Structure 1
Amino acid sequence: MFFNSFAFAIFLPLVFVLYWFVFNKNKTTQNTLLILASYYFYSCWDWRFLFLLVFSTFLDYYTGIRIEKSKKESSRKFWFWLSIGINLGFLAMFKYYNFFASSFAEMMQGFGLKTSPFLLDVVLPVGISFYTFHGLSYVIDIYYKRIKAEYNFVDYSLFVSYFPLLVAGPIERATHLLPQVKVKREFDFQKAKEGIHQMLWGLFKKVVIADTCATYANAIFDNYSTMNSLSLILGAIYFAFQIYGDFSGYSDMALGMSKLFGIDLLKNFNYPYFSRDIAEFWRRWHISLSSWFRDYLYIPLGGSKGGLWMKIRNTFIIFLVSGFWHGANWTYVAWGFINALYFLPLLLRKSNRNNLDDIVVDKSWDSIKVLANILLTFALTCLAWVFFRAKSITDAILYLRNMFSNGHFTSQYLSNERYNYELVILLFLFVFVEWNNRTKVEPISGKYQTIKLALCLAAILALGTYSDYKEFIYFQF
């Protein structure tokens, strides 16, 4: 069940009505309804994997209590590593086993040894990377005594399985979400109104921007060997807007619909394509994942406290793991490695924390430098996205080689698509709107709010009706 499907358009209002008018007696009934709704939502993908979600929930709930109650350090470590091992074991089996088995067979073949690896014939459980990280952060925080274990199984189950964030985040923390589910929520009309506006804007980014760009990006990437330089550049730009509109659109919809139930989720995007360097980009893109790796991997490895080589080592580890988290393909690892290389000069110059202030552009000469840095960062990001989008590293390298060596910058007509110039104009208008929204809490606000809402809805209905790209990109991670 996709957020942008007709089935969900029936599901969400039904849950909303039941939540506020039938199950509104106390927080337990509210939470129970949301759990049931979340389990139904998840079972619509594949009901068999619902048992995996329930098992993962019970595992971390039980081990969290055992860690807190254990008086001996050896016992605490046992329950801690049991939870970590099983969680990562399931993730490795479903997401990475076939990749490692195939990679090992290819390596052996390179040495002249033929092997026939045993491969698992299973699909990847949707959202497994996200709800696994929810549980991991919870258990880790208990082990290091940052939080207390949750003894209410209903409250903890909702923390893990809450349907707006279940399949593609944001990756919540127990310190942020659990306190909200442990109290009864009261209906707030203003918050619900803001939630609807945010959902519409997220749906606009998905249907109008991401899905439209996907048509052209797919056509170019699938036929890159016949495309000239300008078309390949446009293909990289189209994919950059596709993945941003797709994922940030999903996050906006998740945050918006959660407000309908009186719950605030972590902000996951903060206009990343207006970043002035790569370090700032990663503070603005997929914020919940970046901060997760910072707190639970980078800092435990020593962070930036050690010498230069330790900082470099930790930086590359964090980016390589981040790339590998996205999928079992060497292209994602290469994407992470490229971003680590981008980050390295900032680290060596100790300038990775320079751009922490808001972006201000006026009529001064400094503003020209700011805009130049934004364009440069966006260009570097687009080049890295080629590896993220390509089917193999070879395809990505050939794509970039053709982009820089073809030398033809004439407008190239794509045989299976029209409206190329209209799409470029649409993206310019979208960037203009995003730029004006960058300092606003609510995207659709201020003057002419009714007109903005009407235009968003009209564009969604006009383009969404014929969209072939219903699935969100990050559902596969």
Structure 2
Amino acid sequence: MLFNSLHFLVFFPVVAGLYFALAPRWRGPLLLGASYYFYMSWRPAYALLLGATTLLDYFSGYRMGRLATKRQRRPYLYLSLASNLGTLFVFKYFNFFRDAAGQLAGALHLPWAAGPALGLLLPVGVSFYTFQSVGYILDVYQGRLAAERNLGRFALFVAFFPQLVAGPIERGGHMLPQFRRTHGFDYARVVSGLRLMAWGLFKKVVVADRLALLVNPVFNAPRQHAAGPLLVLATLAFTFQIYADFSGYTDMARGAARVLGFEFNLNFRQPYLAASVPEFWRRWHISLSSWFRDYLYIPLGGSRAGPARAYGNLLVVFLVSGLWHGANWTFLVWGGLHGLYLVASTWARPARAWLARATGLAAHPRLRRGLGVAVTFALVAYAWIFFRANNLGDAVFISRHLGSGWAGLRGAGVAALLLEFSQHYRPELAVAALAVALLLAVEYLGRHRSPQAWVAAQPLAARWAGYAGLALLILYLGVFNSTSFIYFQF
């Protein structure tokens, strides 16, 4: 079931209405049943996998909660990690490593008898709910969180439908106490949640899905669109598409949870206004970034063992992050690029400070930050090529041809080239440009004050005029073809 589908348009009001109508003791079972129904709408059989993960991690956490030392807890930790990571490996990575091993053996001229490939369909959201459950287990093992004794409450923590398939990746210490509380109907909170859902839907169907009509033809057949201006246009379009798509999902998830009385952590904070790559990762997919920081980077040693070890840890974390996104070399390169960006940014910090003083930029902080934002955006946009490309060959081809076709082109020439490309996409280009402009305006205005707070402070007539305008934009400019969210594939 997709948030941008008619199915969800019926499902959510029914669930919310029943939730507030029922006595508090029946609300948890209602949400759990609704969450499993939500998940089963894709492939019912995989609800068994979700249930098995839940039962095993509940048992492991419950047993660890009754043991005093880490040594006693360790077998249950290993049991949970083996189960969760083993599930990810079988469904997501087995074929990738099988093929990689065969390629390596061929390059070394070694005999290799590859077994048959597994023809398994990747369960929707498996990487998200697996990481959420693993985070809970690690917190219980470390003693940072008391084990949840109520099986139904823990099952709801793992399967809660707003964030089940694409996050945010929540922590047990944040969500489990919320599931213990009673949430009554609150008009202001419900309206705030619905506003957030509407804005997320706008991002998805008006911005992201409209940009997809420009991005897909180029990235699916880059050799037919080899001119640099078109490749740059498609790269920029995807840069905004993936942000609008993923943050749009997050807004809708946070909004749906808020309607019901639950608050998720913020997952995006104007990432394309970041003035450095480290700042970008403090603003982009915050729940995953913090997960890797707390459960991988710090256990590896973080920066405690000196710069060289810290650089190595950063590279490991971002290579793993790339692999988390998908079993493809393109994702590994994308992760590796960001790892190198972070290493270079940390290593060059003294040089940047010296250059700022030498050029006088230190006396102009706004100009300096503006240059940082532009450079960071360019680096991030370039890395998105590898994220979006269907294979490594396409990504390399696009990278090599970004600069081609510009020679001799002036304003009229570039316009003619873009017009030729857009002969079938003229409405999409215009609508996408306006939608991105509106998105950027809201992002820029919201850098110091929440757009939600700004809207809530307006007079009643102005608010309802804004709601009506947003609804009209969604209805008349949205792309309603049940397009899945990009991060559902992870």
Range into which the TM-score falls when normalised by the shorter chain: over 0.9
Residues 269, 285 of structure 1: 8 Å contact kept:
yes
Residues 198, 442 of structure 1: 8 Å contact kept:
no
Partner in structure 2 of residue 78 of structure 1: 75
1:183-216 alpha-carbon deviations (Å, 9 max, x no partner)? 1112221111100000000000001100011110
CA distance in 1: counterparts of 2:489 and 2:312, whole angstroms: 29
User: How far apart are residue 114 of structure 1 and its match?
Assistant: 6.3
CA distance in 2: counterparts of 1:425 and 1:196, whole angstroms: 23
CA distance in 2: counterparts of 1:386 and 1:15, whole angstroms: 40
Residues 127, 166 of structure 1: 8 Å contact kept:
yes
User: How far apart are residue 108 of structure 1 and its match?
Assistant: 2.6
1:401-450 alpha-carbon deviations (Å, 9 max, x no partner)? 11123325513222532233553343233212221122233447144332
Residues 108, 115 of structure 1: 8 Å contact kept:
no
From 152, 155, 159, give the equivalent of 2:153.
Answer: 155
Partner in structure 1 of residue 358 of structure 2: none
User: How far apart are residue 52 of structure 1 and its match?
Assistant: 0.6
Task: Label 1:144 to 1:73 Cα distance change in 2 as closer, same or farther (>3 A).
Answer: closer
From 165, 175, 178, give the equivalent of 1:177.
Answer: 175
Residues 105, 112 of structure 2: 8 Å contact kept:
yes
User: How far apart are residue 451 of structure 1 and its match?
Assistant: 2.7
Task: Label 1:253 to 1:109 Cα distance change in 2 as closer, same or farther (>3 A).
Answer: same
Partner in structure 2 of residue 377 of structure 1: 376
Partner in structure 1 of residue 12 of structure 2: 12
SS at match of 1:433: helix
Matching of residues 76-155 of structure 1 within 5 Å: 76-112=73-109, 113=111, 115-155=113-153
User: How far apart are residue 155 of structure 1 and its match?
Assistant: 1.0
CA distance in 2: counterparts of 1:49 and 1:220, whole angstroms: 34
Partner in structure 2 of residue 431 of structure 1: 440
SS at match of 1:45: coil
CA distance in 1: counterparts of 2:121 and 2:101, whole angstroms: 21
1:96-143 alpha-carbon deviations (Å, 9 max, x no partner)? 111111222222333455644311111000111111111101110111
Partner in structure 1 of residue 213 of structure 2: 215
SS at match of 2:99: helix
Residues 2, 482 of structure 2: 8 Å contact kept:
no
Residues 102, 117 of structure 1: 8 Å contact kept:
no
Task: Label 1:79 to 1:114 Cα distance change in 2 as closer, same or farther (>3 A).
Answer: closer
CA distance in 1: counterparts of 2:240 and 2:48, whole angstroms: 36
Partner in structure 2 of residue 50 of structure 1: 47
Matching of residues 265-304 of structure 1 within 5 Å: 265-304=264-303
CA distance in 1: counterparts of 2:48 and 2:489, whole angstroms: 19
User: How far apart are residue 391 of structure 1 and its match?
Assistant: 1.2
Partner in structure 1 of residue 356 of structure 2: none
Task: Label 1:32 to 1:206 Cα distance change in 2 as closer, same or farther (>3 A).
Answer: same
Task: Label 1:469 to 1:30 Cα distance change in 2 as closer, same or farther (>3 A).
Answer: closer
Residues 105, 117 of structure 1: 8 Å contact kept:
no
SS at match of 1:284: coil
From 440, 456, 465, give the equivalent of 2:470.
Answer: 456
Task: Label 1:65 to 1:404 Cα distance change in 2 as closer, same or farther (>3 A).
Answer: same
Partner in structure 2 of residue 34 of structure 1: 31
AA partner of residue 58 (structure 2): Y
User: How far apart are residue 376 of structure 1 and its match?
Assistant: 1.3
Partner in structure 1 of residue 186 of structure 2: 188
Residues 275, 374 of structure 1: 8 Å contact kept:
yes
User: Which ranges in structure 2 are unaligned for 5 or more consecutive residues?
Assistant: 354-362
The farther-off stretch of 237-246 and 72-81 is 72-81
User: How far apart are residue 367 of structure 1 and its match?
Assistant: 1.6
Partner in structure 2 of residue 234 of structure 1: 233
User: How far apart are residue 308 of structure 1 and its match?
Assistant: 1.2
CA distance in 2: counterparts of 1:256 and 1:244, whole angstroms: 17
User: How far apart are residue 394 of structure 1 and its match?
Assistant: 1.7
SS at match of 2:426: coil
SS at match of 1:303: coil
CA distance in 1: counterparts of 2:435 and 2:126, whole angstroms: 35
1:317-361 alpha-carbon deviations (Å, 9 max, x no partner)? 111111110000010010011011111122224579x9xxxxxxx
SS at match of 1:380: helix
Residues 98, 114 of structure 2: 8 Å contact kept:
no
Q: TM-score, normalised by structure 2?
A: 0.91
For these two proteins, the number of residue pairs brought into alignment is 463
Task: Label 1:449 to 1:92 Cα distance change in 2 as closer, same or farther (>3 A).
Answer: same
CA distance in 1: counterparts of 2:121 and 2:184, whole angstroms: 40
CA distance in 1: counterparts of 2:442 and 2:33, whole angstroms: 38
User: How far apart are residue 227 of structure 1 and its match?
Assistant: 3.4
The farther-off stretch of 389-398 and 254-263 is 389-398
SS at match of 1:306: coil
User: How far apart are residue 4 of structure 1 and its match?
Assistant: 0.4
AA partner of residue 202 (structure 2): F
AA partner of residue 241 (structure 2): Q
User: How far apart are residue 72 of structure 1 and its match?
Assistant: 5.9
CA distance in 2: counterparts of 1:426 and 1:203, whole angstroms: 12
SS at match of 1:219: helix
CA distance in 2: counterparts of 1:282 and 1:13, whole angstroms: 35
CA distance in 2: counterparts of 1:366 and 1:326, whole angstroms: 36
* Identical residues among aligned pairs (%): 40
User: Which ranges in structure 1 are unaligned for 5 or more consecutive residues?
Assistant: 355-363
AA partner of residue 147 (structure 2): A
Residues 442, 451 of structure 2: 8 Å contact kept:
no
Partner in structure 1 of residue 343 of structure 2: 344
AA partner of residue 457 (structure 1): A
User: How far apart are residue 378 of structure 1 and its match?
Assistant: 0.8
Residues 206, 435 of structure 2: 8 Å contact kept:
no
Partner in structure 1 of residue 483 of structure 2: 470
SS at match of 2:19: helix
Task: Label 1:380 to 1:4 Cα distance change in 2 as closer, same or farther (>3 A).
Answer: same
AA partner of residue 222 (structure 1): N
Residues 198, 253 of structure 1: 8 Å contact kept:
yes
Does 1:416 find its partner at 2:421? no
Residues 211, 469 of structure 1: 8 Å contact kept:
no
